[in-house]
Amino acid sequence: MKILAIETSCDETAAAVVEFAAAPKNEKTKKLKNNGFSVFRSLGFSVLSNVVSSQVKIHAKYGGIVPEVAARKHAENIIPVLDEALKNIKNPQKNIDAIAVTQGPGLITSLRVGVDAARTLSCAWNKPLIRVNHVVAHIYANWLAPKFPISNFPIRADNPTGRIGQFPILCLVVSGGHTLLVLMKGHGKFQIIGQTLDDAAGECFDKAAKILGLGYPGGPAIAAAAAKLPITSDQVESPRRSRDNYQLPITLPRPMLNSPDFNFSFSGLKTAVLYKIRDMKPAFSGVGDAESKHGVKTASTFITQMAAETQNAIIDVLVSKIIRAAEKYNVKTVMLGGGVTANQELRKKFAESAQKKIPDSKFYIPDSKYCTDNAAMIAVAAYFNPKKVGWNKIEPDPNLVI
Amino acid sequence: MALSGDLGSGKTIFAKGLAKTFGIDCASSPTFVLMHIHKINPKFQKTISKQIPNSKFKNLNLKSEILNLPTTLCHIDAYRLKDGGSLLEIGVDEYIGDPEVITIIEWAEKVKKILPKNTKWIYFKHHPKKENWRIIKTGV
């Protein structure tokens, strides 16, 4: 079965074709009826095409996504992106079995372009249309490993020992618009056990980067600035100190780190960054090399340290909450998903903590290219959660909940 | 209700507090999707109604009519918008000016042009010395 998926929830126009097939005959296959779709117990799937046209450079000059620019670009890009995704599919009208599309959450003007394209194809080709929740799709990105000998649970090709996950699964979805902890007891059975009370983690990266003058998008900008850390004057003086043990002279708060619930709050962190910068400004004005009360020598060192500490603060809270939730709900599998998951430091710290503190649970992190918005994950989510909808019934929903 | 002030000056917290008075607990920042629509529980409409003494009205039917009890809270964040035109594109004119809807807009100075004249303005400022203090001014 081939699913054509379309994703336009934010600033990425994406289309993908994913083929789901029964595993070779010698493997045990078992069909299950699931809303009219046949689900194979053991199946292999492959991403036949995965096209993403990002507008990030266009929005960078505005310091963030400008909705009407995004919608206009989606409208321009959607046909070329679909053409590219279908380029190697023979007779797509005959061979595509279903169309999947992101219904929400996201920007209404962006969502509409994808939904309209999907419903047009569904009507013209007479194919079933499946609506997908974007946040759910970020969880299903975990099923997309470099190779796909995949069952109901993710089996990573880079994990040849066959570490197969099991329900219940706990997934942390972190992106520019979302920060939530989702407990998943089965396909389609989602429960939100924690979420952000104000800003999303990705939004905090964006806003902190803006305050620090590092540009947009904030996540990669802060990560890049933080990576310069070893070249601080302190470390040159004492090269023995490894980067991981390097004690930053700046401390930012870890909001809600010790709160008993699993909610997040990142608004205060952004304000703390703002105050640190405001306090430092007098020290740097005029004198390029003045030693400040924080013991920081130059403005650029200060920005590097601020970036590193901002990143640490966000990651500490995220990792600590997901580990604690995994312990409390006694889950068998832990996953990450969403654009912020592409952050290397987060991946590293999550893997270290998971190995150390919850050794009995399997853990997964999607391939970097499937962390950010893409349509392949939409296809996989559609396959496991086939919510069919008439082409004349579907409406984009910017505030769609799980 | 138009909120204006720097990053971290308390606009979202203010909006969250307002939402809470209407029984909406989960109002997070709508920076990403620009607009969150919350339905107000009828139970809380009654609470609001009770806070205004009946004695002020001769006829109780008239009271609910005059008060135009809100049914919806529309929370908008204009942080990433260029101007009011882009806000109209996401369909805010359905909400702004509707007597049954309370519309609260953060970074409202960016979309000043499209706001009605009777908009209530609230200005937020960081306290120059005390980190946990904010200066809040109301205007017309």
| Closest residue to B80, CB basis, from A64, A105, A106 | A64
Give me the interface pTM, i.e. the ipTM. Answer: 0.73
Amino acid A240: pLDDT: 43
d(CA A142, CA A14): 18
Amino acid B131: pLDDT: 84
CA neighbours closer than 13 Å in the CB half-sphere of residue A110: 27
- Cβ neighbours of A135 in B, within 8 Å: none
- B8: tokens are 């971290």
- For B13-46, what is each residue's pLDDT tens digit? 899 898 888 888 777 778 777 888 888 877 777 7
Residue of A nearest to B81 (CA): A66
Q: Which of A46-50, A105-109, A294-298, B108-112 has the lowest mean pLDDT?
A: A294-298
- For A282-324, what is each residue's pLDDT tens digit? 766 544 444 444 555 577 888 999 999 999 999 999 999 999 9
Amino acid A141: pLDDT: 92
Query: DSSP 3-state assignment of B79?
Result: coil
- For B70-103, what is each residue's pLDDT tens digit? 888 999 988 877 788 878 877 788 888 888 899 9
CB pair distance less than 8 Å for B33 and A197? no
- pLDDT band, residue A166 (cuts 50/70/90): confident
Smallest Cα distance from A316 to chain B, Å: 21
Amino acid A28: pLDDT: 42
Under DSSP, the state recorded for A142 is G
pLDDT over 50 at A147, yes or no: no
* Binding-face residues of A in 228-287 toward B, CB within 8 A: 267-268, 270-271, 274-275
Q: Which of A118-132, A182-196, A284-298, B50-64 has the lowest mean pLDDT?
A: A284-298
A208 in contact with B, Cβ within 8 Å = no
**Closest listed residue to residue A17, CA positions, set A374, A373, A384, A295:** A374
- Cβ neighbours of B94 in A, within 8 Å: none
Peptide bond into A217 cis (omega under 30): yes
Smallest Cα distance from A245 to chain B, Å: 30
| Closest residue to A203, CB basis, from B29, B35, B131 | B29
Amino acid A297: pLDDT: 58
A105 in contact with B, Cβ within 8 Å = yes
Amino acid A81: pLDDT: 97
A173 in contact with B, Cβ within 8 Å = no
d(CA A307, CA A215): 12
- B137: tokens are 């001014």
Amino acid A110: pLDDT: 93
Mean pLDDT of chain B: 83
d(CA A175, CA A339): 5
> Pairing between strand A179-186 and A362-364?
unpaired
- For A311-364, what is each residue's pLDDT tens digit? 999 999 999 999 999 999 999 999 999 999 999 999 999 999 998 999 888 888
What is the interface size between A and B, counted as CB pairs within 8 Å? Answer: 84
Amino acid A37: pLDDT: 41
d(CA A150, CA A368): 19
Residue with tokens 């009770």: B50
A337 in contact with B, Cβ within 8 Å = no
pLDDT (mean) for A218-225:
95
CB pair distance less than 8 Å for A107 and B34? yes
Smallest Cα distance from B90 to chain A, Å: 6
CB pair distance less than 8 Å for A105 and B33? yes
**CA A89 from chain center: how many Å?**
28
Mean pLDDT of chain A: 84
| Long-range contacts of the stretch B11-20 (C-beta < 8 A, 24+) | B11/B106, B11/B107, B11/B124, B12/A198, B12/A199, B12/A267, B12/B77, B12/B106, B13/A198, B13/A267, B14/B122, B14/B124, B14/B136, B15/B75, B15/B104, B15/B106, B16/A197, B16/A198, B18/B73, B18/B102, B18/B104, B19/B73, B19/B75
CB pair distance less than 8 Å for A67 and B34? yes
